[in-house]
């Protein structure tokens, strides 16, 4: 199965430009699965909610998501991308920091970021989808189970763990990382769950109203054995693919006596951690 990521620099507030840029990066490529960074259609460093109105979209009708659906169909390939989602709730417009998984038949699934980072709390509602796993299939690679999480979800080990316990073979992880830890931590997320992880990070700097934020690139793919199959540069736009065997994710043994899931002792993992 040929999997990969796009690492690029979205232009803040320029949805049409970002849509064209992503299309031009992937339209000449052949692959089974690609992961594209968080908020790929919008950029990241918003100042006020008004900024989101212009760049967010409904995944059913939005230009960015429809471009992904068209490419997925043309290529008979699966695409995961972060995007700025607009939704109507109680007759009000609300925003989610979301990830879409697009199927070649035009179907799609949405994951909404569970753990919001820093100022994201001013603009987005916390995700309400939870962590779910979806079957993707074709004649070439059979059936593979995909899970999604977005950026800062990585720091909560429960995110990847939940996906792995639900059977994920590959965790797709669109990101806009500003701290340097995640790329190293994904080694542990992949190893402790024995799954493939694809972290598609962005590069470049967003500038807005005198503020600036630099993103750390170094998108990574890690195998269930904790091998780095790729690590991109810190600052360049790059597209990368590699061939993997997702069946490796289904073997949770680290030796003949230890199975990572069967050896778990849930009895001692408290739900309520108050010590009284």
- For the CA atoms of 39, 42, 44, 50, what is the dihedral angle to 10 degrees? -130
Which of residues 36 and 136 has its CB atom nearest to ligand ACM in the complex? 36
Provide the minimum distance between the beta carbon of 61 and ligand ACM in the complex, in angstroms, as a whole number.
26
Provide the minimum distance between the beta carbon of 56 and ligand ACM in the complex, in angstroms, as a whole number.
16
Helix (H) or strand (E) holding 205: strand 205-208
Give Cβ neighbours of residue 139 (< 8 Å, ≥ 6 apart).
none
The question of whether 23 is a catalytic residue gets the answer no
Q: Is 177 in the site for ligand ACM (CB under 6 A)?
A: yes
Which residue of 111, 123, 152, 196 would you call a contact of ligand ACM, by CB under 6 A?
152
Neighbours of 271 (CB within 10 A): 5
Site size toward ligand ACM, by CB under 6 A: 7
How remote is the C-alpha of 194 from its chain's centroid?
18
Which residue of 38, 85, 169, 218 would you call a contact of ligand ACM, by CB under 6 A?
38
For strand 33-36 and strand 78-89, is the pairing parallel, antiparallel, or unpaired? parallel
Q: Is 172 in the site for ligand ACM (CB under 6 A)?
A: no
Q: Is 85 in the site for ligand ACM (CB under 6 A)?
A: no
d(CA 137, CA 114): 27
Provide the minimum distance between the beta carbon of 178 and ligand ACM in the complex, in angstroms, as a whole number.
5
**Per the residue annotation, which of 65, 84, 151, 172 is the catalytic one?**
151
Q: Is 176 in the site for ligand ACM (CB under 6 A)?
A: yes
For strand 196-200 and strand 170-174, is the pairing parallel, antiparallel, or unpaired? parallel
Which residue of 117, 124, 141, 196 would you call a contact of ligand ACM, by CB under 6 A?
117
The question of whether 211 is a catalytic residue gets the answer no
d(CA 23, CA 71): 8
Which residues of this protein are in contact with ligand ACM, per CB under 6 A?
38, 117, 151-152, 176-178
Catalytic residues: 38, 113, 151
């Amino acid at each position: 199965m040929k999997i990969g990521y796009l690492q690029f620099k979205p232009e803040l507030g320029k949805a049409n430009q970002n849509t064209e840029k992503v299309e031009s990066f992937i339209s000449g490529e052949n692959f089974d699965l690609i992961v594209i960074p968080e908020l790929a259609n919008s950029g990241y460093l918003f100042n006020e909610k008004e900024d989101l109105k212009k760049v967010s979209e409904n995944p059913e009708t939005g230009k960015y998501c429809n471009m992904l659906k068209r490419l997925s169909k043309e290529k008979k390939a699966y695409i995961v991308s972060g995007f700025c989602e607009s939704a109507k709730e109680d007759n009000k417009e609300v925003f989610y920091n979301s990830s879409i998984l697009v199927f070649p038949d035009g179907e799609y699934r949405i994951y909404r970021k569970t753990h919001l980072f820093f100022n994201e709390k001013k603009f987005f509602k916390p995700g309400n989808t939870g962590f779910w796993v979806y079957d993707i299939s074709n004649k070439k690679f059979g059936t593979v189970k995909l899970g999604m999480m977005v950026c800062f979800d990585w720091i909560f080990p429960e995110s990847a763990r939940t996906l792995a316990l639900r059977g994920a073979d590959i965790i797709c992880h669109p990101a806009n990382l500003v701290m340097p830890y995640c790329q190293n931590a994904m080694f542990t997320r992949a190893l402790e769950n024995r799954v493939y992880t694809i972290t598609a990070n962005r590069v470049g700097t967003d500038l807005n109203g005198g503020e600036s934020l630099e993103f750390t690139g170094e998108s990574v793919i890690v195998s269930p054995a904790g091998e780095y199959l790729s690590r991109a540069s810190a600052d360049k736009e790059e597209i990368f693919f590699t061939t993997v065997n997702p069946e490796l994710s289904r073997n949770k043994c680290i030796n003949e006596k230890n199975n990572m899931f069967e050896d778990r002792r849930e009895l001692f993992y408290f739900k309520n951690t108050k010590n009284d």
